[in-house]
């Protein structure tokens, strides 16, 4: 598995993992800014079935954790900080539980290790309804998404970033493997509670307007990640780093500098 990636800066490595239906492009601005202000070499990575990384029929957290282990080996990384948002956060948690010696500090953005609620079925239904291979203009795809999703401009804008021209430049296609992701959605919202607790330091960053992290699932965080702290960023929903980038960078750099 050769994961597509970009790197910024120099110093101790940080690996950043995007969420479901995203790509490394979602993190370029954050990575560039942090590499300019902090002594880190930052890798942003397309996980399997996303972006320019290989698209496969299989998808689960053990596989994505193994993909990340291969990335460590290919780049001769012996220890790194991990940052993961949503699905990427679960990959990072799974990796830390399975390979604790390779993880210095872990930052998990707006997700927990427990089974998540279904936040995406309506999105997959909208994506499947948009016949992108026959669309001639981006506006046609956006119109279908707006009809199915409604006036959720943040979600629609995020999804439209995943639309691209195919190799022939005559048709549109999604950057992500829609068929495989929908097929394995039950695996993507599954828990990652196997393995011994990770005893390293962990920061959970919660969007104040998001319910992904709540009083009901915080005990599971504490059980698997006993040396954890939780920071809530006001005015942010699930896409914390996109909605409040200055606050996100400040909180992240403070934690990594301690």
Residues assigned a catalytic role: 86, 238
CB 156 within 8 A of CB 149: yes
Q: Which two tokens stand for residue 135?
A: 């669309």
> What b/e readout covers 131-163, taking b as 16+ CB neighbours within 10 angstroms?
ebeebeeeeebbebbeebbeeeeebbebbeebb
CA angle 16, 195, 76 (to 5 degrees): 40
- Strands 5-9 and 40-45, by their bridges, are antiparallel
Contacts of 38 (CB under 8 A, 6+ apart): 9, 11, 253, 256, 257
Q: Which two tokens stand for residue 113?
A: 């290790």
CB 86 within 8 A of CB 20: yes
Give the span between the Cα atoms of 43 and 165, in whole angstroms. 26
The DSSP secondary structure of 232-254, one letter per residue, reads: EETT--S-HHHHSHHHHHHHHHH
The DSSP secondary structure of 93-104, one letter per residue, reads: HHHHHH-GGGEE
């Amino acid at each position: 598995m050769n994961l597509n990636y970009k790197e910024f800066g120099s110093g101790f490595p940080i690996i950043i993992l995007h969420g479901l239906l995203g790509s490394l492009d979602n993190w370029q601005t954050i990575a560039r800014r942090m590499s300019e202000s902090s002594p880190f070499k930052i890798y942003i990575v397309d996980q399997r079935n996303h972006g320019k990384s290989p698209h496969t029929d299989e998808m689960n957290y053990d596989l994505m954790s193994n993909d990340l282990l291969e990335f460590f080996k290919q780049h001769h990384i012996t220890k790194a900080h991990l940052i993961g948002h949503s699905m990427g956060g679960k990959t990072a948690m799974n990796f830390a539980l399975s390979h604790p010696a390779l993880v210095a500090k872990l930052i998990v953005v707006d997700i927990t290790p427990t089974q998540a609620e279904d936040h995406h079925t309506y999105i997959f239904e909208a994506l499947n309804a948009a016949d992108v291979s026959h669309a001639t203009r981006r506006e046609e795809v956006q119109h279908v998404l707006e009809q199915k999703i409604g006036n959720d401009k943040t979600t629609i804008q995020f999804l439209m970033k995943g639309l691209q021209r195919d190799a022939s430049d005559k048709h549109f296609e999604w950057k992500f493997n829609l068929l495989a992701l929908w097929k394995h959605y039950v695996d993507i919202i599954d828990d990652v509670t196997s393995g011994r607790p990770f005893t390293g330091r962990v920061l959970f960053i919660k969007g104040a307007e998001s319910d992904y992290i709540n009083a009901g699932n915080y005990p599971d965080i504490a059980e698997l990640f006993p040396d954890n702290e939780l920071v809530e960023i006001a005015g942010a929903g699930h896409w914390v780093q996109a909605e409040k980038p200055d606050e996100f960078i400040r909180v992240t750099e403070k934690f990594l500098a301690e």
